Amino acid sequence: MVTKMGQYRQEADKSVKSVKLGAEARILGGYPALVVSAEKIKELTRQYRTDIIKIKIENHIECVYYWKFKQENKLYLTFKGLKVGKYRLTIEPYTLKDFIEEYNKLIKSEYKIRMTMHDDQLAIIIGNKSFTTDKWKFDKEHGGAIHIIAEYPSLTRVEGKIKLKYQIKNEKAYLYIQEYRAKSKRDVPYKIINILGSEMGIILKYKHGKKVKTSVIMNTPSILEPLKKLGVLKSGLSFKYMGDKSLFGIPFEKYEINITNDTLSNILSLLMSTSYRLLKDPNFEETAKTVRDQIGKFISSVFLEKLGYSEIIKDLEKYPHYQIEFPLVKPDLIAKIVNEWHIIEVKFRFKESNVSRAIDKAYYQVARQFAILSRYSPIKLTDDQFINQIKGYGLIVLGYDHRINRGYLYFHLSKVK
């Protein structure tokens, strides 16, 4: 049974809580497989209204195997260490309530987490902080393990969400972060080595190959809700041309950014002040930069629209086709004007005095992206969406000071025939 929200409930005590069986492992298809009669299992799962069972296996080895029962007449189990011979089995019905109790008992103490349910919400308690989600799924997985996969909002991910897997396998509890891989077209788990709750959210440190990476689950609505509202407030931005300026021999047009909408002004003030606090905490530095990058892309997109660009795409790597073909080429924006596309690199710098530091590396980066993508044009995003006629690249360096409700923007465009 795949248990989703709304299906958590206290089960009444039943007269039969387990069945004991004998079973034999024999060679099937070239590998040892344990063949189990399902006659008694059917009644057990019917009584407990669950199709997931827990099987304790004993002989020369002792292990636990979770199985999703589909009313078959026989079960065929295979796993590492299984040998031909006779085995003793103890089979119990297994519910979401059982999983939560067992996970809390088995998870290592250094994680300092506890799982519970509040109505339809899955709650993870870290210290005295509780984080909930209604996007979760309870299911058995290949290889005899059982898990809950839960989804949370996250600013450190392009897709805006992060998945955690709470797994029990052979009487041990694990915690993983799930990352989608376009080549394999599936989520790949990475083991979390440290989890910490704070006022701003959950800090996750996990092993990614030889590296240790950090991701953050942010509390809503403190950050995510204001970001979602930016897109509908485009009319609250205006740009005043201030003249031309050459930086490192590169010609730029300079503009003054003004906010003419009180709601937009309040949202940007909240985002800027919050990201400023996050920048002071090394654990949240990446999240703070992501917030400001999103502000930069929002303002840049509105600016380009006012210049006459008709279509603007952010974060090309969110398209699976593109991610497979160009995993290392990640332009901030790609924008269409008339019949040609331009690749745009965006750099957000709070202080205008820091503009020069951003230009050299950013200019080289966007020129490299243009050289690669224009060479392989047309670029496939979906079966029906392509980018062709890539004819230019540009650089936007901007900043916004929420204290004075004003900002600056430098824009350069190179067109190639």
Q: What is the DSSP string of 185-197?
A: TEEEEEEEEEEEE
CA nearest neighbour of 377 among 333, 334, 320, 318 = 334
Confidence tier at 121 by pLDDT (50, 70, 90): very high
Residue 8: Cβ within 10 Å count: 19
Tens of pLDDT, residues 250-289: 999 999 999 988 888 878 887 887 787 778 777 778 778 8
Q: What is the pLDDT of residue 218?
A: 67
Yes or no: say if 213 and 192 are a contact pair by the CB < 8 Å rule.
no
- Measured in residues, the chain has a length of 417
Of residues 374 and 226, more confidently modeled:
374
Tens of pLDDT, residues 44-92: 777 777 888 898 998 877 889 898 888 777 888 888 778 888 999 898 9
Domain boundaries, the chain: 19-94, 98-218, 224-415
42-51 per-residue burial string, b: 16 or more CB within 10 A, e: under 16: eebbeebebb
Q: What is the pLDDT of residue 165?
A: 96
Confidence tier at 224 by pLDDT (50, 70, 90): low
By DSSP bridging, strand 390-401 and strand 340-348 are: parallel
Confidence tier at 406 by pLDDT (50, 70, 90): very high
Q: What is the pLDDT of residue 219?
A: 62
Q: Residue 77, by phi and psi: left (phi above 0), alpha (psi -120 to 50) or beta?
A: beta
Percentage of the chain modeled with pLDDT above 90: 34
